[in-house]
C-alpha cells in the first residue's frame, strides 16, 4: 500500500476555501462552547481528525466535514452546493443542446410487427 500523500496538489483558491471552512467550523464550535473531545465524540471521529478539519486539511473526507457541520447545526446548505439552480453555466449549456423541434412519432412506432 502506498504511503499517504503529504502535499495534495490543490488550486490556491480551493486551499483558501478549505482553510476558511476549517476556521469557520472552529469558530462555530467555540461560540457554542463545545470542547474538542465532546465535539469529536458527537461527530464520531478522533480529536486529531477534528483538529485537521478545523485547519482546513484537504485530506479530511467530505463526509467528516458534513458530519461536523451537522453536529453544529450548519448542514442545511450542503444540499445546495452543486444544485442545478446554482449552476447558471450548466443551465446555459443545457439550453444550447435542446432540440429545435420535437417530431411526432410515426404511425408504426410503438406497434409490434405481425409474426
List, for residues 25-36, the tens digit of each pLDDT value: 999 999 999 999
CA distance 9 to 26: 24
Q: Are 56 and 15 in contact (CB under 8 A)?
A: yes
Dihedral angle sign, alpha carbons of residues 38, 43, 48, 54 = negative
Nine cell digits for residue 115: 409474426
At residue 1 the predicted structure's pLDDT band, cuts being 50, 70 and 90, is low
How many alpha carbons fall within 13 Å on the CB side of residue 113? 1
Per CATH, which fold does 12-96 belong to? 434 Repressor (Amino-terminal Domain) (1.10.260)
Residues 68-103 pLDDT 10s: 999 999 999 998 888 888 888 888 877 777 777 878
CB-based burial of residue 21 (10 Å sphere; 0-12 exposed, 13-18 middle, 19+ buried)?
middle
Lowest mean per-residue pLDDT among 14-18, 22-26, 90-94: 90-94
86/54: higher pLDDT: 54
**Is the pTM here over 0.85, yes or no?**
no
Count CB atoms within 10 A of the CB of residue 5: 9
Average pLDDT over residues 54-62: 98
* Res 113 pLDDT > 70: no
| In the chain, domain spans | 12-96
Coil, strand or helix: which one is 111? coil
Amino acid at each position: 500500500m502506498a504511503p499517504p500523500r503529504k502535499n495534495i496538489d490543490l488550486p490556491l483558491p480551493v486551499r483558501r476555501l478549505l482553510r476558511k471552512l476549517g476556521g469557520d467550523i472552529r469558530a462555530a464550535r467555540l461560540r457554542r462552547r463545545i470542547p474538542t473531545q465532546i465535539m469529536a465524540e458527537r461527530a464520531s471521529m478522533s480529536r486529531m481528525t477534528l483538529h485537521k478539519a478545523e485547519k482546513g486539511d484537504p485530506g479530511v473526507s467530505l463526509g467528516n466535514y458534513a458530519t461536523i457541520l451537522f453536529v453544529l447545526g450548519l448542514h442545511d446548505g450542503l444540499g445546495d452546493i452543486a444544485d442545478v439552480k446554482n449552476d447558471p453555466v450548466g443551465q446555459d449549456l443545457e439550453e444550447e443542446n435542446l432540440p429545435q423541434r420535437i417530431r411526432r412519432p410515426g404511425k408504426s412506432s410503438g406497434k409490434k410487427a405481425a409474426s
